[in-house]
Structure 1
Amino acid sequence: MNVVFEIIFHFLRELGAAGLFIGTALEASSVPFPGALVILIYGFLLKPSPMETVLLALAVSAVYTLFSYVPYMIGYKLESKMREKFDEKKVEKTKRVFKKYGEWSIALSRPFGIGNYVSYAAGMSKVNRWKFGILTFIGVFPLAIAMLFLGRLGEIKTVNSILEASQTYILIGAGTLLLCYLLYKFLYKKRKRRAAG
């Protein structure tokens, strides 16, 4: 196995189930992070029984649903600012697609990696918050079960080949995390200096 992936596997194994929930939260929050891939890896690492698979999938779906309110609320609260920042035609197109397929697009879009964009559109369209959460959970739960199950069945070579195919995605996600961390540290220190001055 590639040395980089051995390190990733070791790191995720050390994190335990916490890493599964952190990865899920990052993807749901609209950070470019391969959350579904992390679930697949944990299916391989944890080898959950059928009952544990269902319980883990429920927990993962709950975490994803909770953190998907981040892009939802951004869309909900900052609709006018998003219109200024983004191309007006693209904003309208996203809303039209969302309205065309209805609120069920919140659930149906989750397995296809565009769920985060639909979260913004749902917020901008002022979808009921409870309905948004329920539909998000419905969309994520089957995907979580499938990823855990496939990971459990997979051999190390299969998981490794998926990782290698997604290497660019992983590196972009890791780079984004690092950038966010450095930006946070910079802003935090700047705010601290202002407060001290």
Structure 2
Amino acid sequence: MEELILSFIEFLKQFSYFGLIIALTFEFVPAELVLPLAGFWVYEGDMNYWLAVFAGTLGGTLGPLTLYALGRYGGRPFLIKYGKYVFIKEREINAADRFFEKYGAGVAFFGRFLPGVRTTISVPCGMAKMNVWVFSIYTFIAMFPITAFYIYLGKQFGPQWKDVGAKAEEYMLPVAGIIVTAILLFFVFKKARKWTSV
């Protein structure tokens, strides 16, 4: 199956950055496979790093919107019945449901950093009829550092880009922690400046 997906991604390479966006729009194509390969293309000089990151982030935002729409308009019974055809298992939907119930709308951001719920977290967001713009913004903000990280590792690993997946998972939660801390510090600093200017 992986070889078939790789052939599909290689076919889309002819469309350059647009091909990268298209590849990530299909949720059955793992970003963990596409992005390190894009990093390898950067390594080979076929793509610019930052343009690849932007295209990857855009594709990584459009893809979850399809699952969001399935959750919003198809509902849980539809996904349980037909999800298997796009590699979505019922246990993954259940895990995403529990995560959404526990953490609310913020999962559209935080869920992207967690293996097991990363893809399916879009489904409960849709079923809960979360505002589509809020969902898209949270997803884009989360996907930018993830995309940059995977493409960077693919570039660094070069011809061994296939080894990126296992290595990236080790660092994903710490990366999420750093991002969340930075966001919190930004808002605290902004609030502190507002108080001092009064």
Shorter-normalised TM range? 0.5 to 0.7
Equivalent residue in structure 1 for 2:67, among 71, 76, 81: 71
* Percent of aligned pairs sharing the same letter: 26
Structure 1 residue 84 displacement after superposition: 7.7
| Partner-residue secondary structure (3-state), 2:121 | helix
TM-score (norm 1): 0.61
* CA distance, structure 1, for counterparts of residue 120 and residue 157 of structure 2: 30
* CA distance, structure 2, for counterparts of residue 93 and residue 44 of structure 1: 33
TM-score (norm 2): 0.61
Gaps of 5+ in 2: 84-89, 166-198
* CA distance, structure 2, for counterparts of residue 76 and residue 160 of structure 1: 35
Q: Bigger radius of gyration, 1 or 2?
A: 1
Q: Does 1:135 align with 2:131?
A: no
| Partner-residue secondary structure (3-state), 1:117 | coil
Structure 1 residue 116 displacement after superposition: 2.3
Distance 1:84 1:37, change over 3 A: closer
Task: Report matched runs for 1:98-117 at 5 Å.
Answer: 98-113=100-115, 114-117=117-120
* CA distance, structure 2, for counterparts of residue 144 and residue 22 of structure 1: 15
Gaps of 5+ in 1: 164-197
Aligned length: 152
Higher relative contact order (CA 8 A, sep 6+): 1
Write the letter of the residue equivalent to 1:78.
G
Q: What's the RMSD between the two structures over aligned residues?
A: 3.6
Structure 1 residue 58 displacement after superposition: 2.1
| Partner-residue secondary structure (3-state), 2:138 | helix
Task: Report matched runs for 1:1-197 at 5 Å.
Answer: 14=14, 16-27=16-27, 31=28, 33-47=29-43, 52-79=48-75, 81-82=77-78, 85=81, 94-113=96-115, 114-156=117-159, 158-161=160-163
